[in-house]
């Protein structure tokens, strides 16, 4: 085991996958010589050469479209979209092409690509460097959507995504790159190096796609969440003293319904928490699933805590971000009902 | 004091709409044989003029002239004729089948047969096309079974795509034919990506991108050009300019630039135009561009100047947006007639043989159709199972799809 930040864990997953299979090719904006604006591909070009890791023009549709062509040839492209906010020009290539290729060609062609996407806010990125568009992709048949919340999972899930025979959108909560940020922006951030989940296996073990994990066991209420909000939920639980079970979904599509159902049926209460905007967000899907499967076990109405339905603001970032105080208030309310 | 003048917007119009007399007098057509053939490692800057000219081999007397005239045997030429006639007969039967309600939709190639049939001849096994919906000649000239194409069109029990795709959205990996999308232009950058992969792998295979005049306006066209320009992978990028994008004339996509080929100049990609109704010229240009790609000289942009003599698809009536007489007035003629004239000129063909050949080919197509229809037509009840709809979304069916399939009763 080695102590790693999430950045180091992601870099290490690339390294393992590239060493094991020379069909794995990494490219994107600034990922080559410089190693990515978040440093997740640092050193790969030097180690594996320009044929394995290189810079691309600033054209997200081009990056994804080229990757689809490469996958059709037989390579395994792992590409980076520099910010989730920049992914929209590639939407057609992802939705109409990557996601549909296997089905429409009856597996005559397939698309085993990984699209890495730094996501989420809390970095004063304003509306073009902070968004969480995961629901747009979870809505698309043919895609897998993954979002790890710690270095262990980031490495294991990235290795699983690279090994996967279908396209995976791999969201990396960038506020978690260097530590388990819990929403208290005015306090120093703990480092992954001191955190148990920052202790990462040096081998190539995968974390299975489609399996949630119980981040914290509890009996009073289930918090369904993922990414940065796992640690916000933890802070809210500590501050309110409510014995909540925190389910870290890890994969949004395909969803681990079994784990969700087991937890909600145990606690009888459910809070859904994400940073993305509320309306038609992934939380709406979670609430529908819980309603369909756990209605008679519920002792209180379900509650959503999310980002507001506004563009992600700059100066008002901490009024937008679902901070522990908001989550705590929702927890107290759900326990009163 | 000067009067304030409002601005006005330029919204181009075609020269000819229904009721007008078609006039191609300002369409500059160079004489056959007049365009020089540069070496395959030519500096793109030295052939900038080729983006404004047209490579033509067959002259008005049916002779093959100039530096682009290849050494094609009589057998090669008759084979080309067979491919084009097969495509035309196939189209005729499938257009009719659509009218008879045997399928939902069809798209024909009338007038454009030479483009895909001749291009295919310049490719090797293992090369990959990223076609649009109007390059079925790549399959026919690649000797793909006609019955299998029809099975796809009919979504019948033997449809290789098990009913998932609209008619003519074929996929044939083993025949170098990428799965057709219905989204326009997406395949162009994918072709560049495939070629990048070939070069990254030290392979000698090339890819070929296809796009229509209208879809060159899509952002993915520009993505493909930038990537091709930057990485110089072994790709041939074809623009099939058939003058019409449904009802929109090519000037709406082309804008202020003289020709579509000229788009290559800003990217440093050698660009040329070819007479798309001249089987010999398309083959020669395809061979030149394929050799460039295979020998490491990078991408080539080719504008095939042709004319869509039929409707866009079975869903539109071209007489609603262009003069009925326009296709007759098209100055580059009909590709089959022109190859026939050439074959007769060199003493390898006659009107009688042509008629007989046509009849034989129609027989083959009818035979294929009969076989395909024995496996069903759309809605005949012999189609793929609804279960097939749930399969293949992912390699392994995830739990939610298993639940939905059961809910649907399959």
**Residue range A40-82, pLDDT digits in tens:** 999 999 999 999 999 999 999 999 999 999 999 999 999 999 9
Task: Report the distance separating Cα B363 and Cα B369, nearest Å.
Answer: 10
Task: Report the distance separating Cα A80 and Cα A84, nearest Å.
Answer: 10
Pairing of strands A114-119, B300-305: unpaired
Does A285 lie in the same domain as A163?
no
Q: Cβ of A62 and B186 within 8 Å?
A: no
Does A184 lie in the same domain as A248?
no
- Angle, helices A151-163 vs A6-20, to 10°: value is 30
Q: What local confidence, expressed as pLDDT, does residue B256 receive?
A: 87
Find, in chain A, the residue whose alpha carbon is nearest to that of B175: A108
Cα A116 to chain centroid distance, Å, stands at 9
Model confidence at A337, in pLDDT bands (50, 70, 90)? Answer: confident
Does A69 lie in the same domain as A175?
yes
- Tokens read off for B270: 């050698």
- Tokens read off for B247: 């009802």
Task: Report the distance separating Cα A249 and Cα A156, nearest Å.
Answer: 15
Percent of chain A with pLDDT over 90: 99
* Å between B153 CA and nearest CA of chain A: 14
In chain A, what residues touch B173 (CB-CB under 8 Å)? Answer: 105, 108-109
Q: What is the CATH number of domain B44-312+320-379?
A: 3.40.50.970
Does A306 lie in the same domain as A231?
yes
Catalytic positions of A are 129
Does A249 lie in the same domain as A306?
yes
Report yes or no on A153 lying in a domain.
yes
* Å between B279 CA and nearest CA of chain A: 29
| Rounded average pLDDT over A114-133 | 97
Find, in chain B, the residue whose alpha carbon is nearest to that of A71: B194
- pTM of the model as a whole: 0.98
Q: Cβ of B220 and A65 within 8 Å?
A: yes
| Averaged pLDDT of chain A | 98
pLDDT digits (tens, 9 = 90+) for A3-34: 999 999 999 999 999 999 999 999 999 999 99
Q: Which domain holds residue A15?
A: 2-200
Which member of B179, B197, B227 has the closest CB to residue A105? B179
Task: Report the distance separating Cα B195 and Cα B177, nearest Å.
Answer: 14
Find, in chain A, the residue whose alpha carbon is nearest to that of B170: A105
- Burial class from Cβ neighbours inside 10 Å (0-12, 13-18, 19+) for residue A93 reads buried
Domain boundaries, chain B: 44-312+320-379, 386-410
SS3 at position B58: strand
Q: Cβ of B189 and A69 within 8 Å?
A: yes
Please count the residue pairs, one from chain A and one from chain B, whose beta carbons lie less than 8 angstroms apart. Answer: 141
Model confidence at B1, in pLDDT bands (50, 70, 90)? Answer: low
Does A149 lie in the same domain as A217?
no
Q: Cβ of B190 and A109 within 8 Å?
A: no
Does A318 lie in the same domain as A172?
no
SS3 at position B334: coil
Pairing of strands A168-173, A144-146: parallel
Q: What is the CA radius of gyration of chain A?
A: 19
Torsion of CA B398, B399, B404, B409, to 10 degrees: 100
Q: C-alpha angle A285/A289/A294, rounded to 5°?
A: 145
* Å between A284 CA and nearest CA of chain B: 17
Does A38 lie in the same domain as A178?
yes
Q: Total domain count for chain A?
A: 2
Find, in chain B, the residue whose alpha carbon is nearest to that of A254: B398
Percent of chain A with pLDDT over 70: 100
Task: Report the distance separating Cα B46 and Cα B41, nearest Å.
Answer: 11
* Å between A252 CA and nearest CA of chain B: 12
In chain A, what residues touch B194 (CB-CB under 8 Å)? Answer: 69-70, 72-73
Cα-Cα-Cα-Cα dihedral sign, residues B36, B41, B47, B51: positive
Can you give the CATH number for the domain in which A189 is found?
A: 3.40.50.970
Which member of A72, A103, A255 has the closest CB to residue B194? A72
Task: Report the distance separating Cα B17 and Cα B22, nearest Å.
Answer: 8
- In this predicted structure, the answer to whether residue B53 has a pLDDT above a threshold of 80 is yes
Find, in chain A, the residue whose alpha carbon is nearest to that of B233: A66
Does A8 lie in the same domain as A153?
yes
> Among residues A143, A170, A200, which one ends one of the domains?
A200
Q: What local confidence, expressed as pLDDT, does residue B301 receive?
A: 98
Which member of B181, B200, B222 has the closest CB to residue A97? B181
Q: Cβ of A69 and B230 within 8 Å?
A: no
Q: Cβ of A255 and B227 within 8 Å?
A: no
Judge if ipTM > 0.90.
Answer: yes
Q: Cβ of B227 and A66 within 8 Å?
A: yes
Q: Cβ of B164 and A75 within 8 Å?
A: no
pLDDT digits (tens, 9 = 90+) for B363-395: 999 999 999 999 999 999 999 999 999 999 999
Q: Cβ of B393 and A141 within 8 Å?
A: yes
Report yes or no on A208 lying in a domain.
no
pLDDT digits (tens, 9 = 90+) for B167-223: 999 999 999 999 999 999 999 999 999 999 999 999 999 999 999 999 999 999 999
pLDDT digits (tens, 9 = 90+) for B217-267: 999 999 999 999 999 999 999 999 999 999 999 999 999 889 999 999 999
pLDDT digits (tens, 9 = 90+) for B104-121: 999 999 999 999 999 999
Report yes or no on A207 lying in a domain.
no
Chain A touched by B181 (CB under 8 Å): yes
Residues 101-140 in B contacting A (C-alpha not used; CB under 8 Å): 128, 130
Model confidence at B26, in pLDDT bands (50, 70, 90)? Answer: confident
């Amino acid at each position: 085991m080695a102590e790693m930040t999430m950045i180091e864990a992601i870099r290490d997953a690339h390294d393992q996958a590239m060493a094991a299979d020379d069909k794995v090719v990494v490219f994107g904006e600034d990922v080559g010589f410089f190693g990515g604006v978040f440093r997740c591909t640092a050193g790969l070009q030097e180690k594996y050469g320009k044929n394995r890791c290189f810079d691309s023009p600033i054209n997200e549709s081009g990056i994804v479209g080229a990757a689809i062509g490469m996958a059709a040839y037989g390579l395994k492209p792992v590409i980076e979209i520099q910010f989730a906010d920049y992914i929209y020009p590639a939407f057609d290539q992802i939705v109409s092409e990557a996601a549909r290729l296997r089905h429409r060609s009856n597996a005559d062609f397939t698309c085993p690509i990984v699209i890495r996407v730094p996501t989420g806010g809390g970095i004063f990125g304003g509306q073009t460097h902070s968004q969480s568009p995961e629901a747009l992709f979870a809505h698309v048949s043919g895609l897998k959507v993954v979002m790890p919340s710690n270095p262990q999972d980031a490495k294991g899930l990235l290795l699983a995504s690279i090994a996967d025979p279908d396209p995976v959108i791999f969201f990396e909560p960038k506020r978690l790159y260097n530590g388990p940020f819990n929403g208290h922006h005015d306090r120093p951030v703990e480092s992954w190096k001191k955190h148990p989940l920052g202790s990462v296996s040096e081998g190539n073990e995968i974390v299975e796609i489609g399996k949630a994990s119980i981040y914290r066991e509890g009996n009073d209420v289930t918090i369904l969440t993922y990414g940065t909000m796992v640690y916000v939920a933890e802070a809210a639980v500590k501050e309110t003293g409510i014995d909540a079970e925190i389910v870290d979904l890890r994969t949004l599509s395909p969803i681990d319904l079994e784990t969700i159902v087991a937890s909600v049926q145990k606690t009888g209460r459910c809070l859904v928490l994400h940073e993305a905007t509320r309306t038609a967000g992934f939380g709406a899907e979670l609430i529908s699933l819980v309603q369909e499967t756990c209605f008679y076990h519920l002792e209180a109405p379900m509650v959503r805590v999310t980002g507001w339905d506004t563009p992600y603001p700059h100066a008002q970032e901490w009024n937008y971000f679902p901070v522990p105080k908001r989550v705590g208030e929702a927890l107290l309310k759900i326990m009163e009902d | 004091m000067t009067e304030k003048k409002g601005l006005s917007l330029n919204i181009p119009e075609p020269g000819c709409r229904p009721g007008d007399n078609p006039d191609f007098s300002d369409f500059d057509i160079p004489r056959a044989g007049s365009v020089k053939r540069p070496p395959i490692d030519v500096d793109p800057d030295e052939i900038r003029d080729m983006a404004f000219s047209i490579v033509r081999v067959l002259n008005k007397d049916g002779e093959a002239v100039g530096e682009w005239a290849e050494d094609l045997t009589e057998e090669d030429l008759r084979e080309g004729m067979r491919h084009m006639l097969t495509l035309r007969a196939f189209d005729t039967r499938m257009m009719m089948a659509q009218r008879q309600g045997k399928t939902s939709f069809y798209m024909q190639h009338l007038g454009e047969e030479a483009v895909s049939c001749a291009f295919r001849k310049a490719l090797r096994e293992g090369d990959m096309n990223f076609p649009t919906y109007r390059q079925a000649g790549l399959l026919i000239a690649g000797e793909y079974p006609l019955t299998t194409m029809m099975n796809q069109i009919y979504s019948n029990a033997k449809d290789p795509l098990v009913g998932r795709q609209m008619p003519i959205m074929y996929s044939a990996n083993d025949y170098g034919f990428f799965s057709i999308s219905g989204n326009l232009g997406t395949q162009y950058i994918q072709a560049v990506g495939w070629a990048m992969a070939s070069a990254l792998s030290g392979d000698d295979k090339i890819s070929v991108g296809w796009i229509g005049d209208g879809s060159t306006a899509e952002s993915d066209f520009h993505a493909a050009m930038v990537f091709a320009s930057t990485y110089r992978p072994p790709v041939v990028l074809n623009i099939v300019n058939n003058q019409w994008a449904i009802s929109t004339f090519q000037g709406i996509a082309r804008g202020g630039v003289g020709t579509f080929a000229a788009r290559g100049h800003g990217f440093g990609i050698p660009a040329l135009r070819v007479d798309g109704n001249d089987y010999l010229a398309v083959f020669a240009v395809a061979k030149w561009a394929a050799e460039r790609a295979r020998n490491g000289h990078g991408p080539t942009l080719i504008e095939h100047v042709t004319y869509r003599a039929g409707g866009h698809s079975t869903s539109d009536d071209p007489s609603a947006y262009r003069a009925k007489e326009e296709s007759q007035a098209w100055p580059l003629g009909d590709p089959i007639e022109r190859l026939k004239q050439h074959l007769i000129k060199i003493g390898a063909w006659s009107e009688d043989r042509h008629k007989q050949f046509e009849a034989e080919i129609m027989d083959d197509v009818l035979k294929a159709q009969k076989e395909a229809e024995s496996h069903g037509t759309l809605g005949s009840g012999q189609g793929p199972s609804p279960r097939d709809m749930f399969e293949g979304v992912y390699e392994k069916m995830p739990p939610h799809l298993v639940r939905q399939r059961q809910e649907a009763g399959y």
